Amino acid sequence: METASTPERPQSVRTAMNCLWLSVAIGAVKLLMELPYLKTIAPAPFTDFVLIVVFALMVFLIFRIYAGKNWARVTFLVLFVIGILPTLPTMRSEFVRSPLLGTLSVVQAGLQIYALFLLFSKPGSGWFRKTAAA
């Protein structure tokens, strides 16, 4: 819910949010496809815990970004940068196990990159500064 003092959210921020939500949905589909494999490489309770924490953090950050919180936008960027390099070899192994799974990973990463581009370029980036000042 927006207040009268919050500047109008630019279309680029709304598009970025749609990309991030689609990325979460793709992640859920990938999870269902990968769950049997994931449970063979780590104990099930640990795997479940990590998956829940990662999804909860992603959803939390998306909600905070949508609310105009600059710290959430920056946190998402930092976590993306930290996570993308170790993900590249994982994508290769996903393509070996299932071309569909590998393709979904590439699409998911592409959506996140595009969302970050929209959030850190104008007019999206300017909206976060105006929201912080309001």
Give residue limits of the domains in the chain: 18-125
Residue of 69, 77, 27, 74 lying closest to 52 (CA atoms): 27
What residue ranges of the chain have pLDDT lower than 70? 1-6, 131-134
Q: What is the pLDDT of residue 132?
A: 60
At residue 3, the pLDDT reads 44
Instruction: Give the Cα-Cα-Cα angle 83, 84, 89 (nearest 5 degrees).
Output: 110
What is the model's pLDDT at position 88?
A: 87
65 class by beta-carbon count within 10 Å (0-12 exposed, 13-18 middle, 19+ buried)? buried
Q: How far apart are CA 113 and CA 87, in angstroms?
A: 14
pLDDT of residue 133: 60
User: According to the model, what pLDDT value does residue 21 have?
Assistant: 97
pLDDT at 111: 97
Model pLDDT, residue 4: 43
- Residue showing tokens 């930290």: 82
